[in-house]
Structure 1
Amino acid sequence: MLSHRARNTLQALALLAGMAALLGLLGGLLGGTVGAVWALGLAGVLLALSPRIAPALLLRLYGGQPIHADQAPGLVRAVQVLAARAGLPQPPALFLVPSPLLNAFTVGTPKGAAVAVTAGLLRGLPMREVVAVLAHEIAHIRNHDMLVMGLADLMSRLTSLLSNVGVLLVLLNLPLVLLGQAVVNWDAVALLLLMPALGMLLQLALSRTREYDADAGAVALTGDPEGLMRALEHLEQRQGRWLEQLLLPGRRLPDPSLLRTHPPTPARIERLKALAQTLQPAAVPDWEPVRQLGPAVLRRPRWRPGGVWY
């Protein structure tokens, strides 16, 4: 377990270092050494000054409603037990999103986090698998993955911004180039165009690394790799059909591995099987099932300004 986590941590640090190097190189192309220092310094300042939106407020945008202990005592108790095992200062708040999709996600930090589960997840998976999914999300909280991915997203956005600035400067000086009064380093221009794509690929690779680490963390919290493997299989089957009907009706064309935010499900399951062989068999607790929560009519996500919202 330690070697697995250490390997994933080193991979995450290497990917973040690669993104920082791209940002610094881009700043250097635009302003030399001073430009590189300014680019990296700007990333640090923006990260420190970025607004901290309360998890409850953010989840309201998804139509999320708090889940209280009197509504789902078994679910709330499971979160409390997992948070205690993870060593979190306090259990994350639970929210229900009225969507038929099978999904769960996390916002916030270990000092104040929230886990959202959809009504479709609670209705579509048995309690053992729901707990495995919750453990995966709590592992993200323990690993500070929201902060890591926020930093990666910030560096990716800055890389794109500086690239656009560089291309704009080239276009503004194009008349001088045509008149022979200025010279353009076309190799540098090519780098300006390629760097946003390289930064995005590094960000996606980082996301996949964090998912593998959260899978391992979930198993450490539950002692039940089989539960997480079953949950992943069910999510793949159910979500795949819905996405295919929406985007690729009648055929299955998986995304190229470089363009996935999550690792392929078979690869995650294979890692979990290898991990299970190193663990002592553990008794699976008899988690209390969740009764029906939320409205009878569920909303599907819709395209709105800024992305997909419920």
Structure 2
Amino acid sequence: MANLVRTGLLMALLTALFMAVGYGVGGGTGASIAFAIAAAGNLVTYWVADRAVLAAYGARPADPAAFPRLVALVDLLARKAGLKVPRVFVIEADQPNAFATGRDPAHAAVAVTTGLLGALDEAELAGVLAHELSHIRHRDTLTMTVTATLAGAIGMMSNLALIFGGGDERRSSPFAGIGGALLLILAPLSATLVQLAISRAREYAADAGAAALTGQPLALARALSRIGEAARWVGNDDAERNPATASLFIVNPLAGTTFDALFATHPPLRERIARLRRMAQFDARAFSDQMESSDRI
């Protein structure tokens, strides 16, 4: 619940930033137009984002005859989680990775790369799939897609305003002059930081959800380690062409520099793995305490 409230507040902040940029460009009229654009953009995103993302990666439906292990695992884990079984897709890509998409649990899809299927054992693959199902269960795919759309729109509007300037209403507004220029520069940066805060928080929550669903946090930890190591050396051309979708993947698919890590869409892998290991230790201690209590009885 706390994560949902925080996500809602951050999305409201993104919308407010978008309206502020609109106000900086065209005063009250600009703010109204910005709000209308945000609402329309979110509506379009709600209905077509999953199809657009799957098409961008050339994802094809997983044939149960060709990928029996994958289809069976998704079916088993979805039923265990109390979810409608999502559509399953395969992407021809060497980089091991996976993502989930869809506007709600009833219209969801899970996509994995062929590289992932070849890199993980069954327990590790189950951990990755459970992570994606956790995103679906908590509607993270819609949240992250909407925030990416808003953040991109804020940046685009700010760039246009800096290039072409505003009208008479903007020049007479409180955002005129140096203050207006600062707003148009800082708003996209703020929007990016808000988007990253949402994405990072949801990754930690999905890791925890996957560990609870499979009961094997160490298997997911191993999978993250394998995927992260492979992603350092194996590129993902489709992701490089569509960087706004990077936050959907279980591990950042983009090549980057040390500076890029400041604006990474995912939490550090070392911290994610460390948290999963702590979960495994806690479960082991709890089991041991339970056995000791039984012995005393």
**TM-score with structure 1 setting the length:** 0.73
Output one character per residue of 1:241-272: Cα deviation in whole Å (capped at 9) or x when no partner.
335xxx9xxxx954454310111101111222
Pairing 1:57-206 to 2, within 5 Å after superposition: 59-88=54-83, 90-109=84-103, 110-170=105-165, 185-206=177-198
Change (3 A) 1:258 1:19: farther
1:219 aligns to 2:211 (yes or no) = yes
* Distance in 2 (alpha carbons) for counterparts of 1:191 and 1:197: 10
Q: Kindly report the root-mean-square deviation, in angstroms, between the aligned alpha carbons of the 2 structures.
A: 3.0
1:36 aligns to 2:28 (yes or no) = no
Residue type of the alignment partner of 1:126: D
Aligned pair count reads 261
Output one character per residue of 1:287-307: Cα deviation in whole Å (capped at 9) or x when no partner.
xxxxxxxxxxxxxxxxxxxxx
Residue in 2 aligned with 1:304? Answer: none
Residue type of the alignment partner of 1:21: A
* Distance in 2 (alpha carbons) for counterparts of 1:240 and 1:160: 28
1:279 aligns to 2:279 (yes or no) = no
Deviation at 1:57?
7.3
Pairing 1:11-22 to 2, within 5 Å after superposition: 11-22=6-17
Residue type of the alignment partner of 1:279: D
1:240 to 232, 245, 248: 232
Give the secondary structure class of the aligned counterpart of 1:261: coil
* Distance in 2 (alpha carbons) for counterparts of 1:217 and 1:83: 12
Residue type of the alignment partner of 1:122: L
Contact 2:15–2:38 (Cα < 8 Å) also in 1 = no
**How high is the sequence identity, in percent, across the aligned residues?**
36
* Distance in 2 (alpha carbons) for counterparts of 1:197 and 1:57: 26
Deviation at 1:60?
4.8
Unmatched 5+ stretches in structure 2: 241-255, 288-297
Unmatched 5+ stretches in structure 1: 1-5, 178-182, 283-310
* Distance in 1 (alpha carbons) for counterparts of 2:69 and 2:269: 28
Contact 1:56–1:114 (Cα < 8 Å) also in 2 = no
Change (3 A) 1:162 1:67: closer
Greater fraction of residues in helix: 2
* Distance in 2 (alpha carbons) for counterparts of 1:237 and 1:50: 32
Q: Which has the larger radius of gyration?
A: 1
Deviation at 1:233?
1.1
Residue type of the alignment partner of 2:4: T
Deviation at 1:220?
2.0
Change (3 A) 1:272 1:150: same
**TM-score with structure 2 setting the length:** 0.76
Give the secondary structure class of the aligned counterpart of 2:48: coil
Residue type of the alignment partner of 2:276: L
* Distance in 2 (alpha carbons) for counterparts of 1:51 and 1:137: 19
